[in-house]
Structure 1
Amino acid sequence: MDRDTNAGGRLPLRKRWLPLLVAPLLLTGCSMFTAPSTSKGGGTDITSEVTGSDQWLVVAQGSATPAPRPSTGVSPAPTATTRGFLPLPPVVRPTPSATCARDTPHFNKINALTATPGTTSATVSWYNVGGYNIVEFRITAVSQDLKHGEQRDVGWVTVKPGNPCGYLRATVPNLDRRTGYVFTVDAVVTRRSGDGTHAATVFRSSVVYTK
């Protein structure tokens, strides 16, 4: 019989005391692998604490910044270029001649249109380059003072080409007083294939205000 074994089949004495000796080591063993934390100004720096193989993320204290405020400046007055139109070339006034060469309208560019406003109408003038295929010119005005709902249609004014080349005039009626308008002149020509006609803008004015 083992000399450490008690009567009645009890455990040996050395095995009974073994858990009591190991427990304190388990409780204090984790602190052996923990680096001591440093303090700044009496506080604990969380960035210096490392436990085993896990490392804390470095956290930086942020600072609040004021929210941006919209500017309160005055917007510039709208012009022809700020209303969605491309800038127009300067007005060129060719000298009419009875023997001028007959040309056809060029739809690859839009020329500047001269407009003289009245109270409820305006007079526009443009140079007709002539051309064998010109059927007519159509003139209209588009209000720049948009309103809610459907916009009022001024309508078209039709002018026949007449002479092969030279200046043409047209009066656009049915306008509102003290209203900005953009005037356009469309040329209607016959297709080279002879199948119908084709129309496109060849002159356009800047914003003109009625009186």
Structure 2
Amino acid sequence: MTTRGTDARIRRPLRRRWLLLLVAPALLSGCSMFTAPSATKSGGSDTTGTVTGGDQWLVVTRGSATPTPRPSTGASPAPTASTGGFLPLPAVARPTPSATCARDTPHFNKISALAVVPGPTSARVSWYNVGGYNIVEFRITAISQDLRIGEQRNVGWVTVKPGNPCGYLVATVPNLDRRTGYVFSVDAVVLRRSGDGTHAATIFRSSVVRTT
């Protein structure tokens, strides 16, 4: 009985030592799970360390606003009060009438400046007639630039036959209001070169002209 008890007391410390040797590596490997590597760069070389606690911060750089890019295309000139919402017309030299000039047809790809002499309730307009075998008539009107609430008053059209080519034509536009700004225009009505019917388009126009 004495021998067995002595052997039991000797085996117990040995078991405890073996258990400690088996558990210690597991505890050490578990602690390594709570460490994280961190890298810092300085002067082009990397150094590695460990983060043992605390918060990790992400550092960012504040951006700066940039101006909105401007269009590269040039802007059209803004209409002024003198043009009445229309683009300004280039100055055109007045041609000299001639009885032997070559007959031409109106060019609808451009609008020339129109001469206007205003009065109290009417205006006198003049333009150069280039002639042309297919001209049927000219139509003249005035558009008020002093807008009012509601429907605008229609001045109407004045019709002028072409007459002799290569000369100036004159027309009087009546039914105008006093001290009112108007834009006057002349439309040419021509026969179509192919097919039936006529075609009309503006070939002369004035800037804003005010009646007296």
- Provide TM-score, normalisation by structure 1: 0.64
CA distance in 2: counterparts of 1:135 and 1:80, whole angstroms: 32
Match of 2:81 among 79, 86, 106: 79
Secondary structure in structure 1 of the residue aligned to 2:202: strand
What are structure 2's unaligned runs of at least 5 residues?
Answer: 1-33, 35-50, 62-77
CA RMSD of aligned residues (A): 4.2
Quote the Cα distance in structure 2 between the aligned partners of 1:129 and 1:112.
14
Give the Cα–Cα distance (whole angstroms) in 1 for the partners of residues 130 and 89 of structure 2.
Answer: 19
C-alpha displacement at 1:108, in angstroms?
A: 0.6
- Could you say if the C-alpha distance between residues 175 and 207 of structure 1 is closer, same or farther in structure 2, counting changes exceeding 3 Å? same
The one-letter code of the counterpart of 2:187 is D
Q: Work out the CA distance in 1 between the residues paired with 2:175 and 2:60.
A: 72
Asked if the contact 1:143–1:182 (Cα under 8 Å) also holds between the matched residues in 2, the reply is: yes
Matched length: 183
Instruction: Quote the offset at 1:77 in angstroms.
Output: 9.9
Instruction: Give me the whole-angstrom Cα distance separating, in 2, the residues matched to 1:59 and 1:100.
Output: 80
Secondary structure in structure 2 of the residue aligned to 1:83: coil
Structure 1 residues 152-205: Cα deviation after superposition (integer angstroms, max 9, x where no partner): 111000000111220000011111111111100000000011410000000000
| Percent of residue pairs bearing the same amino acid type | 79
| Cα distance in 1 for residues equivalent to 2:141 and 2:170 | 13
Alignment of 1:130-149 (within 5 A): 130-149=131-150
Task: Tell which structure's C-alpha radius of gyration is larger.
Answer: 2
**Where does structure 1 lack aligned partners over 5 or more consecutive residues?**
1-29, 31-51, 61-75
> 2:112 maps to which residue?
111
> Where in structure 1 do 4 or more consecutive aligned residues deviate above 2 Å?
52-60, 76-82
2:158 partner amino acid: V
| Change over 3 Å in CA distance of 1:108–1:118 after alignment to 2 | same
**Equivalences for 1:1-211 in 2 at 5 Å?**
55-56=56-57, 78-81=80-83, 83-85=85-87, 87-211=88-212
Q: 2:79·2:85 contact (CA, 8 Å) conserved in 1?
A: no
